[in-house]
Structure 1
Amino acid sequence: MVSIETKGHNIRTSGIRLSEPEAKKIGAKIWKNECGGTLEGLTSWNKGEYFASLGIGHFIWYSQVKEGPFEESFPKLIQFIASRGIRVPKIARTADCPWNSRAEFIQSKDSPQMNELRQFLHRTISLQTSFILTRLEQALPKMLIQVPVNDQKKIKRNFYKLLQSPQGKYALMDYVNFKGEGTNKKERYKGKGWGMLQVLEEMRLNIPSSQATLEFARAADHVLTRRVQNAPNDETKWLMGWRNRLKTYY
């Protein structure tokens, strides 16, 4: 059971055990990874992308103009926060991102709506951490369905080995938010995925618990390098940043 406190609200998620100090530390790390730990970074639209990236996890929000193969997570986050009785800004309650392009988004960066959204995301960092934890909790059964019975033992063993340490919990939470579970068939290049499932499959067996996060990072590097090699467009520019992120896992 995890309990994360946030200004009078107590959010409980059953399953993976996470202390309040661990939750705060992990949330801060993910915020730094995605947003540089800045308030402005909580509302972003990266150059070359066709979607907004919001919150500590840079949760994807598509406009009605264009959707892509990557899983849209911001509307799910909003549903999660609203279900906890937290008031959500009107602009965040719409199904589609109200800004149809990066140019529109940047032009509105200092608007009252954007400032309200940014402050809301800053106030709900603990809830966003809880949302990512919930996604991780739900990931294992989703992953096991995707693999043959003979391979399920390896996935479970590596998953639970990582959960034995705070650093391993962080690595799993960050990666599932960063690159997903690996179960979405649309998230494939040349038939190969790059999510948590593919990383757990790539990990070697019988790694000591003390080296689990290092092995997870090594396997993730292999999977992400393969993604870049298989990508229909040049994604080389992202690889160095991804590798720097993986170094925070060990």
Structure 2
Amino acid sequence: MLITLTIPLWPHITCAITLSHADVQRIGKRTWQNECNGTIFGLTAWNEGEDFASLGIRHFIWYPKGRRGPFEESFPKVVGFISKRSAKLPTWLLRGGEQPCPWNSRAEFLRAQHTAEMNQLRQFLADTIDLQAEFLIARLEGALPKMLAEAAPADRANVQQQFERLARTPQGCYALVDYVNFKGEGVLRTERYQGQGWGLLQVLESMHGTSDTTAVDEFSGAAKAILTRRVHNAPVARHESRWLAGWIRRVSSYSGR
């Protein structure tokens, strides 16, 4: 089975990305390994210092009721995407609408680690690895038009060229899919420190090569620089340096290093 994404570019061009079902499964398993160490327990997390649960193979963000932050909430969208594919959802996720996270704090979340509700959630996430990967790929479909709209007019051609360089190889597709779901498109003004973003747009803007064979290596290096800049710009109280080594390992994996 092939999955083809036809992506509208800027302003009237299209780009088709075709992935086999095996490619989709590999993306899902690699993302699961990167984000959760490939464990079922790792599919449900609430990181210290954060105000939201992180769930699934990409640690999709889920905010408690009445809580919002600078980062885009994605877990309710994942649930909606999966529910349309006839997958079995835990009963408590079938209430309709975009529900808030039922745990109101990290402490409450940790106390619930062995409850029936948490175990059902983990099993649901473990059973839908492939569908979560499809969601990641589908998100890529909407990323490029948004990035081109946000980019300065003089930068749009280069952003499109760099995207296409990566999209022409399976490893490049994986890098695009993983990074856009790891650090976002880079188009939200709330996702800035000192006016500088860290999403896929910012990585592509910093690339200027032309060879497909070096695209993934260049992307990996550019991502390291952008993430290092984010940590340097971050508010001191967030202590983001504690995460940098893991982030660098993740983007290094794109080029097999």
Q: Is it true that 1:214 corresponds to 2:217 in the alignment?
A: yes
Q: Distance in 2 between matches of 1:163 and 1:2?
A: 15
Residue 83 of structure 1 and its aligned partner are, at CA, apart by 1.6
**Cross-structure match for 1:38:** 39
Aligned to 1:8: none
* The 10-residue stretch of structure 1 (222-231 or 15-24) with the greater mean CA deviation from structure 2: 15-24
Aligned counterparts of 1:176 and 1:148: Cα–Cα separation in 2 = 19
Contact 1:176 1:196 in 2 (8 A): yes
The one-letter amino acid paired with 1:121 is L
Q: Which residue of 2 aligns with 1:116?
A: 120
Residue 84 of structure 2 corresponds to residue 76 of structure 1: no
Distance 1:203 1:78, change over 3 A: same
SS of equivalent residue, structure 1 residue 18: strand
Aligned to 1:244: 249
Structure 1 residues not aligned, in runs of 5+: 4-11
The aligned counterpart of 1:18 is: 19
TM-superposed CA distance for 1:204, in Å, is 2.1
- For residues 199 and 229 of structure 2, the distance between their equivalents in structure 1, rounded to whole angstroms, comes to 12
Alignment of 1:130-209 (within 5 A): 130-206=134-210, 208-209=211-212
1:228 aligns with 2:231: yes
**Distance of 1:148 and 1:185 partners within structure 2:** 14
Question: Structure 1's 187 and 2: CA in aligned 2 closer, same or farther, altered over 3 A?
Answer: farther
- Whole-Å Cα distance in 2 between the matches of residues 141 and 2 of structure 1? 23
Q: Secondary structure at the match of 1:26?
A: helix
May I ask how many residue pairs the two structures share in their alignment? Answer: 241
Deviation of residue 13 (structure 1)? Answer: 5.7
Corresponding residue for 2:87?
86
- Normalising by structure 1, report the TM-score: 0.92
Deviation at 1:155, TM superposition (A): 0.6
The farther-off stretch of 227-236 and 132-141 is 227-236
- 2:111 — aligned with what? 107
Confirm or deny: 8 A CA contact 1:13 1:130 kept in the other structure: no
Query: 1:1-59 CA deviation, whole Å, 9 max, x = no partner?
Result: 944xxxxxxxx865421111211111111000110000001111112211101000100
Q: Write the deviation string for residues 191-234 of structure 1: whole angstroms up to 9, x where unpaired.
A: 1100000000011233x211111100111111111111110133
> Can you give the 5+ residue segments of structure 2 that lack an aligned partner in the other structure?
7-15
CA contact (8 A) 1:154 1:205 kept: no
Deviation for aligned residue 1:86: 2.3
Over 4 Å off, 4+ runs:
12-15
